[in-house]
A and B are shown apart, each in its own frame.
Chain A
Amino acid sequence: EAQVTQNPRYLITVTGKKLTVTCSQNMNHEYMSWYRQDPGLGLRQIYYSMNVEVTDKGDVPEGYKVSRKEKRNFPLILESPSPNQTSLYFCASSLDPNQPQHFGDGTRLSIL
């Protein structure tokens, strides 16, 4: 089954404790991206990757890191999480950004 898999689905943690949210897709997609969704603000892009080893900032990259060492994986790293990063996060992939995005099920992060 074609899918984008995110882990964990839910996480409650504390300020400053490094965390990683994993994202993996099995569709051989080149383009992958991370979004956060907050009430009233919609989906905002954090980082995207056009292909392996190529990543770029989206609209709200501050406080986040990503890496794309292999095509299928695109982890989101919060080196020192803060409460303003409490949000619902989605990973998405597609053949290219001009094509429909396939979304993961989302990760709800709470930073205390």
Chain B
Amino acid sequence: QKEVEQNSGPLSVPEGAIASLNCTYSDRGSQSFFWYRQYSGKSPELIMSIYSNGDKEDGRFTAQLNKASQYVSLLIRDSQPSDSATYLCAVYSAASKLTFGTGTRLQVTL
């Protein structure tokens, strides 16, 4: 089992719709969770960080963490073509290790 798993996609959503990106992790004691956005050929940039169970909202973005089920998700409301990118989930585990998933490619269509 991979430490951090994401569906590679592409996930295609129409403009204005909600995009839902999911990530599961294997270390039940993981402490910190991050979502990064990466445009092709560019460096990852932080979208959200979440440390406790529940939802965290920032503008059009909502991160959801469920430690019991070991998943973290990212919702993007009112998706825009500029949101088309690869979204990376990163998890800091109880073993003091930061691991990235392979990313989900999101395509927002007009």
By a beta-carbon cutoff of 8 Å, the part of chain B in contact with chain A is 8, 31-32, 34, 41-46, 49, 88, 90, 92, 96-103
What is the minimal beta-carbon distance from A84 to any residue of chain B, in angstroms? 19
- Return the contact of B88 from the options A41, A42, A105 (Cβ within 8 A): A42
What is the minimal beta-carbon distance from A36 to any residue of chain B, in angstroms? 11
Query: Taking the complex as formed, is A45 at the interface, i.e. its CB lies under 8 A from any CB of chain B?
Result: yes
Return chain A residues, CB-CB under 8 Å to B103.
42
Count, chain A residues at interface, CB 8 A: 20
Q: In the assembly, what is the distance between CA of A85 and CA of B98, in Å? A: 22
What is the minimal beta-carbon distance from A78 to any residue of chain B, in angstroms? 20
**Stretch of A13-21, A67-75, A96-104 on the interface side:** A96-104
What is the minimal beta-carbon distance from A53 to any residue of chain B, in angstroms? 18
Please determine whether B43 and A103 come into contact, CB atoms closer than 8 angstroms.
Answer: yes
Please determine whether A42 and B100 come into contact, CB atoms closer than 8 angstroms.
Answer: yes
Given A33-B98, A98-B32, A99-B49, 17 other A-B contacts at CB below 8 A?
A35-B100, A40-B8, A41-B102, A42-B88, A42-B101, A42-B102, A44-B100, A45-B99, A88-B41, A90-B43, A90-B44, A97-B92, A98-B31, A100-B34, A101-B44, A103-B44, A105-B43
Q: In the assembly, what is the distance between CA of A43 and CA of B8, in Å? A: 13
Please determine whether B32 and A106 come into contact, CB atoms closer than 8 angstroms.
Answer: no
CB within 8 Å for A104 and B43 given contacts A42-B102, A98-B31: yes
